[in-house]
Amino acid sequence: MACPDPHSCFDDSQSRARHWRLRLRVDFERKVLSGEAELRFERPAQGPLDLDTKGLTILSASCREADVPFELEGERPILGRRLRLRLPPGTRSVAIRYETSPEAMGLQWLSAAQTEGKRKPFLFSQCQAIHARSVLPCQDSPSARVTFEAELDVPEGLSAVMGAGPLGDAPSGPGRRAWRFGMPQPIPSYLFALAVGELSSRELSSRCRVWAEPACVDKAAWEFAGVESMLAAAESLFGPYEWQRYDMLVLPPSFPYGGMENPRMTFLTPTLLAGDRSLVDVVAHELAHSWTGNLVTNATAEHFWLNEGFTVWAERRILKALRGEEAASLAWAIGQKALDEELKRFKDRPELTRLRAHLEGVDPDDAYSAVPYEKGARFLACLERAAGQAEFDAFVKSYLARYRFQSVATEDFCRRVEERFPGLLAKVDADAWLNKPGMPSDAPRFCSPRLNALAALAEDWPKGRRPDPALLRAAKPEELLVFLQRLPQTLGPADCRWLDDNLGLTGRGNYEVLVQWLRLAAASGYQPAFERVRRLLLEVGRMKYVRPLYLALGKTPPGRALARRVFSEAAGSYHVLTRRAAESALAGYPA
Ligand code: BES
Ligand code: ZN
């Protein structure tokens, strides 16, 4: 097996880079990173070495001052261009001088206007799944791990942070400052992360700190104050935290995800700053990745469920430990709705709803959905129920310890389950979970008294019975979310007005509740909410919100008109992935 990963030209019969030394200059005028990546090998290397690149300009390759011959092959769709180096015998390291493209998929360059402070530009990276190759030439497969050291040269007045340990900063030239970082634990390339902007930070515990733009750093520190207790709960469930520090960075609102588990520095969307700590389960999720994903990593994107399904399961175990069974049940129920919707969205591509995916020729960004998350988590919950919680917990701990700092495939996981619990896989029909599309009919369902009560309120709605508003006003945000998810997804103007007047939905700070409402309002053509939809779509780039809102606007002519107007205004400031998601929603509108 020379090329184990369909999304990378990483060839495991060639030498492996074990360490990167990066020196990069951040150029906000040209929107490029330029500099040098030195790849070091464990043993003297020689012969061909294939690296992934996308949009990179390769200026030179050298080893001990001597040029190393290289070819940059033609562009392949999705994958980019293979850079083939020919290493002379005895090569211990090779230095590549290069430059990124302003369109690099792994980087988003924001103007000052797109930040909260409006004074300084901002840069952040998002390398998962296969965008590290647009940031540096590398063996861009999660089955190859590296340690690294990096120096980022940035304009004075901006701070640089990385998914790594800081090693200090010093002036590097007129108006410039160099920030140094080291990452002693080996990571897969998709966890390489950097951000540059006007940042300040607050300490949350001896090993946790939050970074954000100065204008929202105190709000962030309040919102995430409980992170140390999550970390402690996670350690007791999953074993020691192996990354020394757990810091977080709150990004500008165009960040396309809710969170990204960059090691030592989780990246978060500012839409989590609800003002009531009601969205911290996203932090629990990213934190849980420190074990499930970062420590034990999916071998390729075809085993993505091992990262995300495992992490959703782990996140809900943390939630249960901290807030109890009822809170965890609500989270499972909210996830069930997302799962049902995504199974519908993928009804014409059912093969993408298998946990063990086959992605040759498929862009991982196109395959991305809630399915590996929620179906994967349910598969694990099913194993957990069949094995018994204490036994399954002990198994998970030993599995994580066994594969720490390694990459695993679905087959490795199954082998370990079979070893520990002979016959269990067959008993739960693991083959159906892993290899068949959709959900097995006996998939676990989660219920609780609170959940049943909320569902009953929503079921009464079409029968014309309105709930007591006081009851819903007293509900927690996640309870309100459950209620809203269960209402019919288009309503008349009087119903919409009732909801908004009684529950103050348009003014909500919890984005899950807000967006669930705005989707309903948009799909119903309820124009009093359109201005809030417009503002949200101009500001927020989180795909989880942007895609459904554009889809909902597509249901009525005034909605479509708004969507087209807003998109033409917002497109330029969206992350490429967000722009694509919005474009594909617009493309599905009736002519
Ligand atoms: N690792 C993912 C984000 C990701 C996945 C980025 C694939 C690029 C490609 C992260 O851990 C995640 O799952 N984020 C979720 C939050 C979560 C609570 C489910 C998100 O962004 O919504
Ligand atoms: Zn995740």
Burial class of residue 568 (count of CB atoms within 10 Å of its CB; 0-12, 13-18, 19+): exposed
Q: In this predicted structure, what is the pLDDT of residue 153? A: 99
φ, ψ for residue 511, nearest 5 deg: -65, -25
CATH of domain 477-587: 1.25.40.320
Report whether pLDDT(408) > 80: yes
φ, ψ for residue 401, nearest 5 deg: -70, -40
In tens, the pLDDT along 350-369 reads: 999 999 999 999 999 999 99
Q: What pTM, to 2 d.p., does this model score? A: 0.98
φ, ψ for residue 123, nearest 5 deg: -135, 135
Closest-approaching ligand to the CA atom of 334: 1
304 CA to centre of ligand 2 in angstroms: 10
Instruction: Name the CA dihedral angle for 464, 469, 473, 477, rounded to a multiple of 10 degrees.
Output: 0
In tens, the pLDDT along 65-76 reads: 899 999 999 999
Q: In this predicted structure, what is the pLDDT of residue 544? A: 98
Atom of ligand 1 lying closest to residue 368 CA: 7
By alpha-carbon position, which residue is closest to atom 11 of ligand 1? 260
Closest-approaching ligand to the CA atom of 190: 1
By alpha-carbon position, which residue is closest to atom 20 of ligand 1? 258
Give the contacts of 497 (CB within 8 A, at least 6 positions apart): 526, 528
Q: In this predicted structure, what is the pLDDT of residue 1? A: 60
By alpha-carbon position, which residue is closest to atom 1 of ligand 1? 260
CATH of domain 17-198: 2.60.40.1730
Give the pLDDT mean for 237-262: 98
Closest-approaching ligand to the CA atom of 267: 1
How far is 331 from 560, CA to CA, in rounded Å?
32
Q: Is residue 251 within 8 Å of 270, Cβ to Cβ? A: yes
How far is 584 from 142, CA to CA, in rounded Å?
29
How far is 8 from 53, CA to CA, in rounded Å?
10
Give the pLDDT mean for 330-343: 97
Report whether pLDDT(204) > 80: yes
By alpha-carbon position, which residue is closest to atom 15 of ligand 1? 258
By alpha-carbon position, which residue is closest to atom 8 of ligand 1? 128
Cα 228-280-529 angle, rounded to 5 deg: 160
Write the single-letter amino acid at 329.
Answer: S
103: Cα within 13 Å, side-chain hemisphere: 5
Active-site annotation, residues = 286, 373
How far is 135 from 138, CA to CA, in rounded Å?
9
Report whether pLDDT(252) > 90: yes
259 CA to centre of ligand 2 in angstroms: 7
In tens, the pLDDT along 20-41 reads: 999 999 999 999 999 999 999 9
Q: In this predicted structure, what is the pLDDT of residue 574? A: 97
Q: Is residue 155 within 8 Å of 175, Cβ to Cβ? A: yes
Give the pLDDT mean for 416-429: 98
CB atoms within 10 A of CB 466: 13
Q: Which residues line ligand 1 (CB under 6 A)?
A: 128-129, 257-261, 282, 285-286, 289, 308, 368, 373, 544
291 CA to centre of ligand 2 in angstroms: 11
How close are the terminal C-alpha atoms of the chain, in Å? 48
Give the contacts of 584 (CB within 8 A, at least 6 positions apart): none
- Which of 127, 130, 260 to probe ligand 1 with, by most ligand atoms within 8 A of CB? 260
In tens, the pLDDT along 364-395 reads: 999 999 999 999 999 999 999 999 999 999 99
In tens, the pLDDT along 423-435 reads: 999 999 999 999 9
- Which of 308, 359, 576 to probe ligand 1 with, by most ligand atoms within 8 A of CB? 308
Q: In this predicted structure, what is the pLDDT of residue 591? A: 85
Q: Is residue 180 within 8 Å of 260, Cβ to Cβ? A: no
Closest among 360, 364, 239 to 308, alpha carbons compared? 364
Q: Is 208 helix (H, G, I), strand (E, B) or coil?
A: strand
How far is 356 from 353, CA to CA, in rounded Å?
9
Boundaries of CATH 1.25.40.320 in the chain? 477-587
Atom of ligand 1 lying closest to residue 257 CA: 21
Write the single-letter amino acid at 292.
Answer: T
**Residues linked to residue 72 through DSSP beta bridges, in sequence order:** 83
Boundaries of CATH 2.60.40.1730 in the chain? 17-198
